[in-house]
Structure 1
Amino acid sequence: MSGATRGAGRRGGRRRAPLTGAGWTVLATALALYALAAVFGYRLLAVCAVGLAVVLVLAVAWIVVGPRVDLTRGVDPDRVSVGEPALGRIDVRNRSRLPSVPFVAVDRVGPDTVELPVGVLPGGAARPVYYPIPTVRRGRVELGPLTVERRDPLGLLRAARRVAAPALLWVHPRVHPAATLPVGVVLDFEARTTANARLGTLTFSSLRDYVPGDDPRRIHWRTTARVGHLVVKEHIDTTEPTTTVLLDNVSLADGVTFEHAVEVAASVYRAVELEGRPVRVHLVHEESVPDAVDSLDLLAAVGVHRDSRSGVLERIQRLPGGGVLVVVTSGDPALLPRLADQRRRFNPVVVVQLTGDRDATPEGMHRRPGMTVISARHAQDAVTRWNHLAGGQSE
């Protein structure tokens, strides 16, 4: 759980104008009544104006004493799938030896505002405050900034101070249980390493310090003699095939169909990742997602880009060959014959077509020269047919 702490009673924080709409109304009314009393000599109007002014002064006195508290905001957990519970947590600690005055902690969850009343807190005490965060849609949900507000009982004035930096909640796409396909050939045997290469016994990569349990045959004696302690050779397997998932975020213009496509891509990615095998997700229209650490974060934030040309083939040509190629796209029949040529670079090639409810493309799993085509209207149906393919079954 991540969070940032700022003292609400310290100087510095960004303040907002203290008068609310009701406060401005009372102030304007008091000034108007006093002006009328001065012009026409009505003492009753003057008394009313003074009374309203006294109310404003009392409201100022109510909010001028701010709480001396520290607030830490976090999200638990900070990554969930659609529909899974996520809680925002605010830890409130009273820095004073005296009881704190009541206040309202205000947080923003995406475009929405959440108000959390915090009652009197004994001196030196701490209290957590929880609130649910909606996860009905995938996305990169920004939380914050968190502010502390002090309000008078009549709602005339409101003093606000920012006390914590923004945080993030990643709502990943829904993942359906998926199997993995047998990986095919690898086209690069030049011992070039990649970020997703796994430990193996094929190619020398680097040297590292010896740890108990290492194979003595891997000790590099020349370096050991030079540095004075045991050093072993590290090998990696640069020829292990990679599963490449390409999500078409251009031609899948229908929002509902695109969400199903994202779920299919996430399901395939997660299945391969759980087996510890190399897998990468790419987009036809590449996006830069701030703070993303893996492909599920990327899929949480991906959106549709309107374009007259799909660009699927051009994007595939820029991808490294070898292993499984999974293309998640729309039901465009003109694309399939050209995708079949990719069997020279990938093995196997699987095209998952999300057709949507209004598309006339027949559903099912079809074998074509050089590839397999899965057509489905929904993500669950597509993953079910994918599992049939992985198990060697036919419909």
Structure 2
Amino acid sequence: MWRRRGITGRGVGLAAGAFALLVGGFRFGYPDLALLGTIGLVALICGAVFALWRPRLGVERVADPDRVARGEPARMTLTVRNTSRLRAANLVALDRCGGASVPVPLLRLRPGRDTTVDYPVPTSRRGVVPIGPLRVTRGDPLGLIRLARTYGGVAEVWVHPRIHLLRAVPAGISRSLDGRIDKVPHGTITFDSLREYVVGDELRRVHWRSSAKVGELMVREQLDTSEPTIVVLLDDRVAAHPGLRDGIAESFEAACEAAASIVAAAAREDVPVGLHLVTDVASGPYLDVLTRATLRDGDLAATVRRLRAQRVGDTLVFLTGPGGRGDLGAVGGLRGAYPVVLAGLFGDRDGAPVSAGDGLIVIEAESGQEFAAAWDGVRGW
């Protein structure tokens, strides 16, 4: 794949001079000028032939590790092998690492030999860091022609949000078929439906009264109705996180860390958890979703209506920024569909006081670490 090709400034000057000498020499009968022009043209042709030779290089990348939390170390090991058989490669190479370039020494790389470069990957910002491709530049000795080609593919290092330890995890809500609702620490098995008996079913699950009426063995299907389920709603609207600096909204970064911490705590306690964005429903590994999350235009009202209709859990956690303070009331209106509703408000400590009416729990914090400390102090689960 070609990235850059062409004549250098020196080559352009030589080409213009050679053309002028050739025209002047032939038109006015000066053979010496024509000879000089011919020499310049031959130099350009030789430079092009020299630069057009494409070395055969094999590129291999290994990221260690390829997924890290923000601020944790990660390194990339790049191995370049000269797979040519005839001559050594004398090249200048740069490897792209995020927005920077890393020099790769390929001076006099002999056939069948390789060189290895190990360098750190920047992990100070959440996101996916692209590594590569390797950009190899080759020019002629006179500096007339310079060609750049790319080798190898692009590797990715995923920089996840920081995870802060959350000791408290919501216990969940028990919904019984007779209408009772209770908070419980563990799941409760209850009757769900009847189905036909199949070989292997336990006889103690046979519903004899229904079997007598139907004339076939019927068994009870049971369901754990009280398994706690946490729903995390991350506000990824541009309007909710104003004050971008260098393309980063600190309140959104803190909200992503809080979401990652909740997901990790739920996984540790084996509690089902779902991640939703205002602009989309998360699919795939949640930490990867949080790594790729960016600020977009979204409709919170439509998301609230969807969550009210679906009732996908019993504990709702809404994470937003300064621009979402005015939307806490709308999210608090989900209290009827979700017995426990908690809001995390980031980056707006000097804003107006938040009313915790209708059972809405509000945590105001500047960072994910502050949110984790306040989360463990909540007694309203």
Shorter-normalised TM-score: what interval? 0.7 to 0.9
> Is the aligned partner of 1:165 residue 2:159?
no
Q: Is the 8 A contact 1:356 1:378 kept in 2?
A: no
Q: Partner letter of residue 265 of structure 2?
A: A
Q: Is the 8 A contact 1:183 1:347 kept in 2?
A: no
Q: Partner letter of residue 130 of structure 1?
A: D
Q: Using the alignment, how far apart are the partners of 1:45 and 1:220 within structure 2? A: 100
Change over 3 Å in CA distance of 1:257–1:26 after alignment to 2: farther
SS in 2 for 1:19: strand
Q: Is the 8 A contact 2:188 2:227 kept in 1?
A: no
Instruction: Kindly state the Cα deviation for residue 327 of structure 1 after the two structures are TM-superposed.
Output: 0.6
Q: Is the 8 A contact 1:107 1:147 kept in 2?
A: yes
Q: Is the 8 A contact 2:89 2:110 kept in 1?
A: no
Larger Cα-atom Rg? 2
RMSD: 3.7
Q: Using the alignment, how far apart are the partners of 2:147 and 2:333 within structure 1? A: 66
Residues 52-111 of structure 1, C-alpha deviations (whole Å, 9 max, x = no match): 334434433543443333222343322222223333332222334556312244444455
> Is the aligned partner of 1:245 residue 2:232?
yes
Change over 3 Å in CA distance of 1:28–1:350 after alignment to 2: same
SS in 1 for 2:138: strand
Q: Using the alignment, how far apart are the partners of 1:156 and 1:187 within structure 2? A: 79
1:142 to 100, 122, 130: 130
2:374 to 372, 385, 388: 385
Change over 3 Å in CA distance of 1:322–1:169 after alignment to 2: same
Which residues in structure 2 correspond to 1:1-395 (within 5 Å)? 14-15=1-2, 18-22=5-9, 23-40=11-28, 45-46=33-34, 48-96=36-84, 100-110=88-98, 113-185=101-173, 187=175, 220=200, 239-250=226-237, 251-254=239-242, 255-286=249-280, 293-306=284-297, 311-331=302-322, 332=324, 334-356=326-348, 359-362=350-353, 368-389=357-378, 392=379
Q: Using the alignment, how far apart are the partners of 1:203 and 1:145 within structure 2? A: 57
Q: Using the alignment, how far apart are the partners of 1:38 and 1:186 within structure 2? A: 99
Q: Partner letter of residue 271 of structure 1?
A: A
Q: Using the alignment, how far apart are the partners of 1:173 and 1:157 within structure 2? A: 46
**TM-score normalised by structure 2 residue count:** 0.72
Instruction: Kindly state the Cα deviation for residue 388 of structure 1 after the two structures are TM-superposed.
Output: 2.1
Q: Partner letter of residue 360 of structure 1?
A: G
Q: Using the alignment, how far apart are the partners of 1:69 and 1:221 within structure 2? A: 62
Q: Using the alignment, how far apart are the partners of 1:257 and 1:248 within structure 2? A: 10
Count, aligned residues: 336
Change over 3 Å in CA distance of 1:104–1:186 after alignment to 2: farther
Q: Using the alignment, how far apart are the partners of 1:43 and 1:317 within structure 2? A: 90
Between stretches 167-176 and 235-244, larger displacement belongs to 235-244
Change over 3 Å in CA distance of 1:174–1:152 after alignment to 2: farther
Structure 1 equivalent of residue 210 of structure 2: none
**TM-score normalised by structure 1 residue count:** 0.70
Q: Using the alignment, how far apart are the partners of 2:142 and 2:126 within structure 1? A: 40
Q: Give the unaligned 5+ runs of structure 1.
A: 1-13, 190-199, 205-218, 223-234
Q: Using the alignment, how far apart are the partners of 1:89 and 1:120 within structure 2? A: 20
Q: Is the 8 A contact 1:184 1:346 kept in 2?
A: no
Q: Using the alignment, how far apart are the partners of 1:188 and 1:98 within structure 2? A: 78
SS in 1 for 2:58: strand
Q: Using the alignment, how far apart are the partners of 1:184 and 1:252 within structure 2? A: 29
Q: Is the 8 A contact 1:187 1:321 kept in 2?
A: no
Instruction: Kindly state the Cα deviation for residue 341 of structure 1 after the two structures are TM-superposed.
Output: 4.0
Residues 330-373 of structure 1, C-alpha deviations (whole Å, 9 max, x = no match): 3555534443443333343211112436x42359xx85442311
